[in-house]
Structure formats: structure tokens, C-alpha cells
Amino acid sequence: MMDLIEAEHLSRYYGKYCAVNDVSFTLAKGEVLGFLGKNGAGKTTTMQMLCGNLAPSAGKIKINGYDLLNQAKAAKMSLGYLPDTPPLYKELTVQEFLLYCASLHGIAQGFRAKAIKQAQQRCGLTDVSDRLIANLSKGYQQRVGIAQAILHNPEVIVLDEPTVGLDPLQIREIRALIRELGQDHGVILSTHILTEVQESCTHVQIIHQGQLILNETIAGLNLQMDTGTLEVTTRLPCDNSSLLAIPGISSIENMSQNRIKIHHSVTANPTEQIAEYIVASGWGLQELTPVKRSMEDIFISLTQECGKS
């Protein structure tokens, strides 16, 4: 299967300042890539280069097989883009604005009505089609921004901070829409919200000071979150030395008289044997809880490590 985006060794300088430094990645159909980083990390600069709004200082970008520099028109026809501030004409109705966007996208006149209807249905805009954009809530305005990005049914959709400033219900709705779009397209979602990546994406990349410091599937990231640690509470104190004989346990830490922390191998997980042994020994198992690192823990540790180097 051909990659919808191929970004090779992208760099971007502003004078002597390097905003993006040697970034490479790919995106395939059915993937939702969460592009994560602190404010100022280089996310928006990378998004603008991917969309042809900003020329890279070095590197190469292909969209759906077309070189973004040498075959710009063909490449951009495969692309839908929602910038961090949606480009809306608020004095128009939703229908009028999408009709205008359809002509900009080069959709043939006979197909425009159908394309607009489909985009409105997918983005939940059918009931507000005849309302002025200026009179819509921020959540609905964001939906209009996404509708213009998917109007021409592009292979690649790039969304830059699509849920900023929305209330919790609006955020949930937009995230559900992003997951749905990811089934038929390749989607890049730029954000600094960690839960957004976990809930909406199949892959995650972290950019820090212009460099990619993580490129991983969400499944792989979930494995990284498993620290191989259990917190165990018992009615009677455990005999740590006999527990250490269980294969896979590396060390035991006393937290209080009846509470211990067991560190074990992630690959050979001995949780079941530990529970059975404590029960069989009559120590009265009251609680056994796996300790996981959050995505925030991973993000902070990675960015701090890079900051020191």
C-alpha cells in the first residue's frame, strides 16, 4: 500500500533559528497520526510545510505520490487542511461558504450539491446549513472548518489544533468525527493535548525543539506505559524473600507493614502467580493494582531527557 504522505528530512530555518530539524515520517490510509509537542516545538511549521503553505529549507514531501514542490497542484488536490484558526467568511451562511469552497477546490458544478450535502452530513451541519457562520457556536464553526477540508474527499486531511477553545461536549464530538474520518483517509492531527492523541489516533509522534523524539503506534505506546510494577495490600505482612522466588520478580519495596510494591518483568508477567501465592500463603490479599505510567509521564520524561542532552 502506497504511503499517502512521505516526508523526508524536512528542515525549516527562520534566519539562523531552526524551527524544524531533519523530520521524516510517513502516513498511510486508515492511520490517524497524532502530532504532539509543546507550544513552539515546531508542530505548526511542519503542518504548513506539509500543506505547501511554507517551503522547507531542506527536505522533500510527497502527497499521494505527487511531489509537493514539482507537482504542487496535483499534490494539493489530494489534501484537505484545517489551520489552527479556521478560514471562515462569517458573513456567509454555511451553505454559501461551502459552495464557495467547492468552486475553490475545483469540484465540477454538477457534483457540488452532492459534495456539500455529504460534508454537512459527516460534520453534523445539516440543521444549520442556512444559518450565518457568525451566529454559530465555536464548536459549529470548527465543524464548518473541517467540512471545507473534506469537501473534495481528499486522501489526506491535516487538522491543526482542531479542538482548542471548545467545551467538553464539543471536544468529544470533534474527536469522534476525527476517528470516523480516519477510517477512509489518512489524518494528521496536530495537538498539545495528550488525551486527544490517546482517544483519536492510531499513531503518535512527539516533536521537541524541532526534532522528532518519538514515533510510535498507540499500541506500542501503551506497552511503554506498563512499568512492570504492582502495588499489593495484604491483611498480614508478606514474606518478601519467598515472593522473590517467583520467576519474573526483580525486586520488592516495602511501603508500609502490609503494603508492598513488586517490580517485575513486563514480558514474563507473574501477576497471576503472585496473587495465587499470597492467597495460598494465607496473607489475606486485599488489593493488587498494576502501576502504569501516564502518557504525560512519558511526554515529560522524553522532553526533559532531550532538554538535558
pLDDT of residue 228: 84
Q: Could you say which architecture CATH assigns to the domain 226-295?
A: 2-Layer Sandwich (3.30)
What are the start and end residues of each CATH 3.40.50.300 domain in the chain?
A: 5-222
What's the per-residue H, E or C state across 84-95? CCCCCCCCCEHH
pLDDT band at 308 (very low <50, low <70, confident <90, very high): low
User: Among 54-63, 256-265, 287-296, which stretch is predicted with the lowest mean pLDDT?
Assistant: 287-296
Give the pLDDT score at 66. Answer: 96
Beta carbons of 194 and 225 less than 8 angstroms apart? no
Backbone φ and ψ of 170, nearest 5°:
-65, -40
User: Rounded mean pLDDT of 275-302?
Assistant: 89
Strand, helix or coil at 220? helix
pLDDT digits (tens, 9 = 90+) for 4-18: 999 999 999 999 999
Choose among 183, 182, 134, 192: nearest CA to 160. Answer: 192
pLDDT for 192-224, tens place per residue?
888 888 889 999 999 999 999 999 998 888 777
Q: State yes or no: pLDDT of 156 exceeds 70.
A: yes
State whether CATH 3.40.50.300 applies to domain 5-222: yes
pLDDT (average), residues 153-162: 93
1 pLDDT exceeds 70?
no
Query: Within the chain, which residue ranges are assigned CATH 3.30.70.1560?
Result: 226-295
Q: Which residue has the cell 501477576?
A: 271
Cβ proximity of 161 and 86 under 8 Å: no
User: What letter represents residue 224's amino acid?
Assistant: Q
Distance CA(239)–CA(244), nearest Å, equals: 9
At residue 307 the predicted structure's pLDDT band, cuts being 50, 70 and 90, is low
Q: What is the mean pLDDT of the chain?
A: 91
Q: Is the pTM of this model over 0.85?
A: no
- The band of 297, judged by pLDDT with boundaries at 50, 70 and 90, is confident
213 touches 207 (CB < 8 A): yes
- Predicted pLDDT of residue 224: 74
Burial class (CB in 10 A: 0-12, 13-18, 19+), 108: exposed
Percent of the chain having pLDDT more than 90?
71
